[in-house]
Amino acid sequence: MLNIGITGQTGFIGTHLYNFFGLKKAEVVRIPFEDNYFEDVTKLKDFVRQCDVIIHLAALNRHNDPQTIYDTNILLVKKLLRALDSTGSKPHILFSSSTQEERDNMFGKSKKEGRELLARWAQENNAKFTGMIVPNVFGPFGNPYYNSVVATFSHQLTHNEEPKVEIDAQLKLIYIGELVELIWKAIRDGYSAEEHRIPHTSERKVTEILDLIRLFKTEYSDKGVFPLLNNKFEINLFNTFRCYMDIENHYPVKLKKNTDDRGTFVETIKSGLGGQVS
């Protein structure tokens, strides 16, 4: 049985991980974490003392002042390290960094230096450390304008807003469910590496992603037709899109009644392949 704690437990990735571990009751005990623990030394010490594994996700991703991003993220790492040292705890630490490490910005710099601080601590204390460098993550319940362009486009198109592409970049992507499985595998295997590059599972241009989401809106939201999904990426993207629908205004859907000499029927489900359920 593993006691697993997640800093940033209520964030996008943290929520999916926490729910996933809730399905592993025979193998995992979830150690609750709240963001205010970083402001309470006693609570933070109690947290790390209980954990066999800590997944450090807590971070500031966006702020008007880049220096605030850097200072905040480094401070969170240092507070975690102080709690570990003062309690003599040596859990397996998994750290979520970003491919932005390679870019010249304060977020990427904070992630790289935070990863290096944790790796150094692990080496000095003979502890396991997995420094994950994660590509762009998308999936249900990400925050628009914060977590992912997929979340932003899906929210905009389902709320009568028009998306705007600033830079048509080629994005390396991973679905949240795939990332969660890889993190769980690293924990089970006791995998330790200062730099562990999580492989992306798909790659698309921003405009290609927008075109697909726009198709989902037109076919599924407007016409009630399940679109033709050609691969796993499109299935995951469609499932992500659906969670952003404006449910209160979309439902109930008015169904068309068709009557002829044979009788009356109502189409309830239509497929992009041409089939229907009535």
d(CA 208, CA 126): 46
- DSSP class of residue 252? S
Within the chain, strands assigned E span 2-7, 28-31, 53-56, 92-98, 129-134, 136-138, 170-175, 193-197, 202-205, 225-226, 257-260, 263-266, 269-271, 276-277
The β-bridge relationship of strands 263-266 and 257-260 is: antiparallel
Q: According to the model, what pLDDT value does residue 44 have?
A: 99
> Quick one: pLDDT band at residue 253, thresholds 50, 70, 90?
low
Higher-pLDDT residue of 246, 152: 152
Mean pLDDT score, 69-77: 98
The residue-averaged pLDDT of 99-125 equals: 95
For the full predicted model, state whether its pTM sits above 0.85: yes
Return mean pLDDT, the chain: 92
The answer on pLDDT for 71 being more than 60 is yes
Check if CATH label 3.40.50.720 holds for domain 2-134.
Answer: yes
Residue 171: closest CA among 152, 184, 155: 152
Dmax (CA) of the chain: 82
Residue 168 has pLDDT above 60, yes or no: yes
Provide CB contacts within 8 A for 55, sequence distance 6+.
4, 5, 6, 7, 14, 17, 94, 96, 183
- Reported as a pLDDT band with limits 50, 70 and 90, residue 244 is very high
Domain-by-domain residue ranges, the chain? 2-134
Residue 254's pLDDT is what? 66
Percent of the chain with pLDDT over 90: 84
Question: Residue 142 carries which side chain, given as an amino acid letter?
Answer: G
Least confident range of 36-40, 100-104, 126-130, 230-234: 100-104
Q: What is the DSSP letter of 24?
A: -
User: Helix crossing, 106-125 with 66-87: angle to 10°?
Assistant: 10
Q: Which residues pair with 91 in a beta bridge?
A: none
* CA distance linking residue 245 with residue 217, whole number of Å: 9
Q: What integer pLDDT is reported at residue 225 of this predicted model?
A: 87
Q: 141: left (phi > 0), else alpha (psi -120 to 50), else beta?
A: left
Least confident span in 43-47, 90-94, 96-100: 96-100
**Residue 278: what pLDDT?**
47
Tell me the average pLDDT across 168-173.
Answer: 97
Give per-residue pLDDT as tens, 22-46: 999 999 999 999 999 999 999 999 9
Residue 223 pLDDT? 86
Question: Is pLDDT at 140 greater than 80 in this prediction?
Answer: yes
> Please, where are the H alpha helices in 138-262?
149-158, 176-189, 206-216, 232-242, 247-250
Cα–Cα distances (Å) from 160 to 3, 104, 221, in that order, read 44, 35, 12
